[in-house]
A and B are shown apart, each in its own frame.
Chain A
Amino acid sequence: MSEACEPRSHLVYGWAWLVACLTFPLIWLGGLVTTHDAGMAVPDWPGTFGYNLFLYPISTWVFGPFDLFVEHGHRLLASLVGLLAIFLCWFAYKYEQRRWARMVCYAFLGAIISQGLLGGARVLLDARTAAMIHGCTGPLVFTLGCFVVMACSKDWYEARPVPISKGLRRVAVALFLFSIVQLFLGAQLRHSQPTWIPSFFMSIVHTHLTMAMIILGLILWVFAIVRRNPNRQVVELRAPSSMLVAIVIAQVALGFATWVANYATPWMELTPWLARYTVQGKGFWESMIVTGHQATGSLLIVCSLWLTCRISIRGRVIEDKLVERKAIEDGEQIVSTTQPSLMVVGENG
């Protein structure tokens, strides 16, 4: 733990914030590419219709077909994020004194480059499988970017331990892993192959729904544990747990809306509105809902990582409830809440 005493870099922290904030719209744009099946809207790579990526005429890009707009825009923004990540690594190399934190920055850059190459392979091979993998790893790269922010934050640096039950830690880790599994399942549905048999697609849908219920249950459980505790010994976990509840409620609503926007409902006579609803092929709001469901899934992963990290850096596992009660009575569980949360990526998205 000696490295935790070394000074962190404010520049690296601020720059990591910037990169992470730009990575989220990149997830949105990538989602729009999938929603509009625009992965092959530009048939060459790394150029755009024979032009250098950065020299493609802006008027043709902005006022051209929408699928070309989102695909080329996705590439431009990805290039910008990659460029900023290079600077992040340079700043980390110069100013960040914790070796592991520098390594995380380098890993983030490596992940961005890998993601770019994967996107290029998707175009050059015209392969939906590559698109699906690209869609899975995109949110993970975003999560890694947010982890850089967390690692460089004051919150992490000045963390002091508080007593936490073992179950809470396990649930947090499980929540993070389940969120990633859920991302993979969602990406399968988004990039389903036309050759799939219906029962395979249906099984993935059912697994996705089951996993959603498990994640919802875990989040509500964490929220209840954190909120119901009268001694406030886990007060530092209130922000991530509350944020998780807000995100998961939005995500469940978006998930239902996504299905309706894509396929209407199987119970069309449930209400007159559903009965009359006509799916709009490639409609604006439909696209936003479907893409929003994917993007919010990324936030769920980030937020569950935030919770996991807070538990990890603050949590001192109490093996026994009696010991826990004693620790609470001793007053060592009260943690100053004057420190501002520096993992605001999870809060604001």
Chain B
Amino acid sequence: MFLLDFRCYSRFSTSIVFGCALVFLTGLLGCSGEKIEYQANFLHAASVMSDSDEPEIRSTARQASQATTELLGPIDAPEWPADIESVVDMDKVRRSAGPVGRDKSKVENGLFRKHCVQCHGLSGDGFGPASALLAPYPRDFRRGSFKFKSTPIGRKPTHADIVKTLENGLPGTAMPAFRTLNESEEFAKDVDALAHYVRFMAIRGELERRVLVALANGDSQQGHPDLLSRVANDWREADSYAIAVPEWKTLSETELQGSIARGKELFQSELTACAKCHGGNADGKGISQDYDDWTKDWTIRAGLDPANKAEWKAMKKYGALKPVLDPARNLHLGVFRGGATRQEIYTRLVVGIEGSPMPAVARKQNDNPGLTEENILDLVEYVLSVSSLPVSGPAPTREVKDERSL
């Protein structure tokens, strides 16, 4: 009859006070154990060293991570070698890295851990705490591949591409739009700083992968600065590969209907093969059963079948998440993650979506079959016509000023 005896509540309340004190002490003791450091790329090591045993795989991955850290600094204090021209603004990188909080001058630091780490993970590996529950999985920056950009497949995204994804988010995914940050003077520079840090993490991750492959092949540990120079150079050239989007003419209703009809014909033709994945009705019910490159990286390229659990399960201990198919979009939903304006859909068609099964359209060159500029514009009109979205005008452009003219 504990609860019936009113006097027992004095003991009850005393217990609460003791409980609070215990929790307080536990907190104080437990707080000192939070060790934050880059996670070595065990998964890539396992995929390139498939014949090695687990201790060797882990040891090589740690060596690669250590060698990369020696060049680019620890996670809380990133740095750039003085003898290599930087492609990121290190002041902004340092501001985005490290723990969350304001310093004495009220400048906010730790932007990545505040906004991104929950999904993308401390190392930008896409293995944040929440990652396993998300669809699609958060992006692993370490391959240096980004889906929505204005440069061709195989080229790095421009700084403006990353800023755009950060500002607009990706509809239907867990990637938020940080446009609200830019609306505040206080946070106006945060998105730009985060974009620099994303580039830094991508460079670091790619360097680590290359060092890892070099170590796995028994190469000398010398020459890592050269590897960094090569990776950095790819990023430096990104702007020069950005495609030009044509001016959009205002079409009359008759012209528009004609364009849509031609676009539909192209969509269903063998030339574009759009219907193969998206379905003849553009409802996403094609025959495509493919995975994205981030999954293929540690499955198919390592000789594992992602559809066979008995095979890929062995990679779980290295951090692998369950492989999931990368389905073609149902265009009737009107969801265009890379943007829903004509210009943005044109860009998607011309450069494709890197890392996904969505290829770039084949362009007509000389006698080679492919699409002309007019064909692509017709396809854009058809895609917009089947979506339930109101047809939108040109994308609002916002010049991203990079003070270092990278």
Contacts and interface: CB of A to CB of B under 8 A. Distances in A.
B3 A312 contact: yes
Contacts of B174: 262-264, 279
Given A100-B6, A133-B24, A278-B170, A126 B101 contact: yes
A174 to B, nearest CB: 13
B4 A313 contact: yes
Interface string A255-297: 0000000111011110010111111111110000000000000
Interface stretch (B102-110, B143-151, B251-259, B292-300): B102-110
B73 interface: no
Contacts of B26: 133
A284 B183 CA distance: 13
Given A37-B100, A197-B127, A107 B28 contact: no
Counting chain A residues whose Cβ lies within 8 A of the other chain, the interface size class is 35 or more
Contact of B319 (A4, A107, A197, A269): A197
Contacts of A335: none
A117 B28 CA distance: 11
Interface in B97-122: 99-104, 106, 108, 110, 113-115, 117-119, 121-122
A276 B99 CA distance: 33
17 contacts: A43-B102, A65-B102, A66-B184, A67-B102, A99-B7, A100-B7, A114-B24, A118-B24, A130-B31, A201-B133, A263-B119, A263-B130, A263-B134, A268-B173, A279-B175, A282-B115, A311-B3
B30 A129 contact: yes
Given A127-B34, A137-B23, A262-B174, A41 B102 contact: yes
Given A100-B6, A110-B20, A130-B28, A43 B34 contact: no
Nearest to A102: B10
A284 B334 CA distance: 25
A158 interface: no
Given A137-B23, A280-B176, A196 B100 contact: no
B242 interface: no
Contacts of B170: 278
B31 A278 contact: no
Contacts of A22: none
Contacts of A218: none
Interface of A: 1, 3-4, 37, 39-43, 49-50, 64-68, 98-101, 103-104, 106-108, 110-111, 114-115, 117-118, 121-122, 125-130, 133-134, 136-137, 140-141, 144, 147, 151, 169, 173, 192-202, 205, 262-264, 266-269, 272, 274-284, 308-309, 311-313, 315
B225 to A, nearest CB: 29
Given A40-B101, A99-B10, A118-B24, 11 more contacts: A40-B102, A64-B106, A66-B186, A100-B6, A107-B13, A107-B17, A133-B23, A133-B27, A134-B27, A274-B172, A312-B3
Nearest to B167: A281
A4 B6 CA distance: 8
Given A129-B34, A194-B118, A275 B129 contact: no
Contacts of A66: 184, 186
B172 A275 contact: yes
B22 to A, nearest CB: 10
B269 interface: no
Contacts of A117: 24
Contact of A195 (B16, B17, B35, B133): B35
A221 to B, nearest CB: 19
Contact of B171 (A99, A173, A200, A277): A277
Contacts of B34: 127-129, 193, 195
A125 B135 CA distance: 35
Contacts of B132: 198-199, 201-202
Contacts of B47: none
A136 B22 CA distance: 13
B23 A275 contact: no
Contacts of B171: 275-278
For the complex of A and B, 9 pairs with smallest distance between CB atoms = A40-B101, A127-B31, A107-B13, A281-B176, A312-B3, A198-B132, A201-B129, A268-B172, A279-B176
Contact of A277 (B27, B168, B172, B330): B172
B42 to A, nearest CB: 12
Contacts of A283: 180
B333 interface: yes
Question: Most chain-B Cβ atoms within 10 A of its Cβ — which of A103, A173, A192?
Answer: A103
A264 B173 contact: yes
A143 to B, nearest CB: 9
A167 to B, nearest CB: 15
B221 interface: no
B268 to A, nearest CB: 22
A324 B364 CA distance: 88
Contacts of B362: none
